[in-house]
Amino acid sequence: MTATRYRFLEKEINRLGTDIYRKTSNGQSCKKAEKLLADYKAEFKAARLKIDRELKELNN
């Protein structure tokens, strides 16, 4: 995974979180956005673990 994809995920997670908050505040349903957010968070977490592992290997 590239750093570009990691930054994209970070921005999308923040954007989707804001969109979901706005929609639910107005009483709208946003199941698709919630599913996409969950997928992005899972991918983001995996990327973060991979980056941490690679940094740890470089430091050893």
State residue 29's pLDDT score: 80
For residue 16, the tally of other CB atoms under 10 A from its CB is 19
State residue 1's pLDDT score: 57
- 55 band by pLDDT with thresholds 50, 70 and 90: confident
**Residues whose CB is less than 8 angstroms from the CB of residue 1 and which lie 6 or more positions away in sequence, other chains included:** 47, 50, 51
- pTM for the full predicted model: 0.70
* C-alpha radius of gyration, the chain, whole number: 15
Per the model's pLDDT, the better-predicted residue between 53 and 2 turns out to be: 53
**Tens digits of per-residue pLDDT, 11-51?**
888 988 888 888 888 878 888 888 888 998 998 888 888 88
3-class secondary structure, 45 = helix
pLDDT at 2 over 80: no
